[in-house]
Structure 1
Amino acid sequence: MNGLLVTGTDTGIGKTIVAGGLAGALRERGIDAGVCKPLQSGHLTVDPEGDAARLQALAGVDDPLDLICPYSFEEPLAPLVAMRRAGVSLTLREIEAAYRTIADRHSFVIVEGAGGLAVPYAENSLVADVAVRLRLPLLLVARPNLGTVNHTILTVEYARQRGIEVIGVILSGLGSGPIGVAEETNPGLIEEWARVPVLGTVPWLGERFEASAVRRTIAECVQLETIMSRFQLKAI
């Protein structure tokens, strides 16, 4: 299966914008990219404010929401906690089956995790275990401001300990606060100390945004050619 898993250094970091926008930008280049959010907490799948619905809109895919995200829980908690409070038990087997359903419909799939790499996700499983099970490399989304170097290095090092490849980092939300020396120097520090490329910096797009604007921003601000080359994706 050809794809990647988008994770973050924190929750609310911009993973959905990056994952959906990247899929949409690739699709505009003629690449058959799909999106998958196997498990979602905080919104039910059908909620238009939820990650699954936003992924669908940003990517511009016609896959049904219940295929993009077959498992959802309304409480805004770690997925495992929300799942248990709903009286549901899911394992990596169900998560893998959800991914493969989407993978059978597309030549490339972008999977969005939940929170960070060490978030409890399913029974006996962290988000990292999902990446290992699906054999997917990571695209790490991080914030651009002070403190992000520490969080990014820790996440990258943990991924390496688990044998997971990190193809790069995307900084998300530049401009939501003041831009100073930290924001200007963080990309270089991340590349120097985490030893992974920073593939782009995505500006703050506000609370409300149009899907076309997100796709355009991703195409302008992210090194799409590098990602396409890594996965041998050919534009049409």
Structure 2
Amino acid sequence: MKGFFITATDTGVGKTIVAGGLAGVFRKQGYNFGVYKPVQSGHLVHHPEGDAARLKKLSDVDDPLEHICPYAVEEPLTPILALRRTGKQVTLQDLQDGYLRLKEKHEFMIVEGAGGLAVPYVADGLVVDAATMFQLPLIIVARPNLGTVNHTILTIEYAKQRGLQVAGVILSGYRDEIAGVAEKTNPSIIYSYTGIPILGIIPWIEELDRREIVLSVLEESVQWNQLQII
């Protein structure tokens, strides 16, 4: 099984758009990609603004939402706390079971975590523990502005300490009209200190509900020749 685990330096940096958009473009290219969001907090699974619904729409898979996201809770809290407050006891093995179910249908998988790698996730692990279990290379989504160098380098170093392969970094939400020195130099600084390739700089997308626009932006913004999936 090949694919990617999509994580981020923080919450709300565009991780779902990257995960779903990558899967959607890869599927347009003829690759059989599935998408998996093991735990979602902030929306129930069928809510149209939830991560699972966005992943399904962007990727255009026919898997049921309950398979894409087997554990969804409404409160916008760190996943382990949101799950506990609904009385749900979820383990890493539960997440693995859902992954294996989708893996039977797809040659490649894109798995989206929650927030960053050190987020408390399920009863017996952090997000990083789930990423280790799935054994997929990481793509780290980061914001483009001041402060992202620190957050990105820390995330990369933590991933390496845990034995994870980092495929690259994608900066999301770049606004050329307000970009300053930090935004224009952050990609090269991150690369110079980590050696991890910058796979793309995705501009701010206003119409996130329009699949064709999101996929078109990613097609133009991502360095597809650097994404090794085979």
TM-score, L = length of structure 2: 0.97
Contact residue 152 and residue 194 of structure 1 kept, 8 A:
no
Matches within 5 A, 1:7-156: 7-156=7-156
Whole-angstrom CA distance in 2 between matches of 1:64 and 1:18: 20
Residue equivalent to 1:231: 229
Q: Secondary structure at the match of 1:115?
A: coil
Residue equivalent to 2:172: 172
Contact residue 103 and residue 109 of structure 1 kept, 8 A:
yes
Following TM superposition, by how much is the alpha carbon of 1:209 offset from its aligned partner in structure 2, in angstroms?
3.4
Q: Secondary structure at the match of 1:114?
A: coil
Whole-angstrom CA distance in 1 between matches of 2:207 and 2:225: 28
- How many pairs does the alignment contain? 230
Following TM superposition, by how much is the alpha carbon of 1:134 offset from its aligned partner in structure 2, in angstroms?
1.1
Moved over 3 A (4+): none
TM-score, L = length of structure 1: 0.95
Contact residue 9 and residue 142 of structure 2 kept, 8 A:
yes
Contact residue 80 and residue 121 of structure 1 kept, 8 A:
yes
What letter is aligned with 2:222? V
Following TM superposition, by how much is the alpha carbon of 1:124 offset from its aligned partner in structure 2, in angstroms?
2.2
Contact residue 170 and residue 202 of structure 1 kept, 8 A:
yes
Whole-angstrom CA distance in 2 between matches of 1:22 and 1:202: 12
Q: Deviations over 1:180-203 (max 9, x none)?
A: 111110000000112200000000
Contact residue 207 and residue 213 of structure 2 kept, 8 A:
no
Whole-angstrom CA distance in 2 between matches of 1:185 and 1:208: 26
Contact residue 33 and residue 106 of structure 1 kept, 8 A:
yes
Q: Secondary structure at the match of 1:178?
A: coil
Whole-angstrom CA distance in 2 between matches of 1:65 and 1:173: 27
Following TM superposition, by how much is the alpha carbon of 1:206 offset from its aligned partner in structure 2, in angstroms?
2.0
Sequence identity of aligned pairs in percent? 55
Structure 1: segments with no counterpart, 5+ residues:
none
Following TM superposition, by how much is the alpha carbon of 1:207 offset from its aligned partner in structure 2, in angstroms?
6.0
Residue equivalent to 2:185: 185
Q: Secondary structure at the match of 1:3?
A: strand
What letter is aligned with 2:133? R
What letter is aligned with 1:89? Q
Superposition RMSD on alpha carbons, in Å? 1.1
Following TM superposition, by how much is the alpha carbon of 1:177 offset from its aligned partner in structure 2, in angstroms?
7.3
What letter is aligned with 1:139? I
Whole-angstrom CA distance in 1 between matches of 2:156 and 2:143: 14
Contact residue 143 and residue 173 of structure 1 kept, 8 A:
yes
Residue equivalent to 1:210: 210
Whole-angstrom CA distance in 1 between matches of 2:207 and 2:92: 33
Q: Deviations over 1:95-146 (max 9, x none)?
A: 0111111111111110000000100000120100001111111000000011
Structure 2: segments with no counterpart, 5+ residues:
none
Following TM superposition, by how much is the alpha carbon of 1:91 offset from its aligned partner in structure 2, in angstroms?
0.5
Contact residue 208 and residue 214 of structure 2 kept, 8 A:
no
Whole-angstrom CA distance in 2 between matches of 1:177 and 1:79: 35
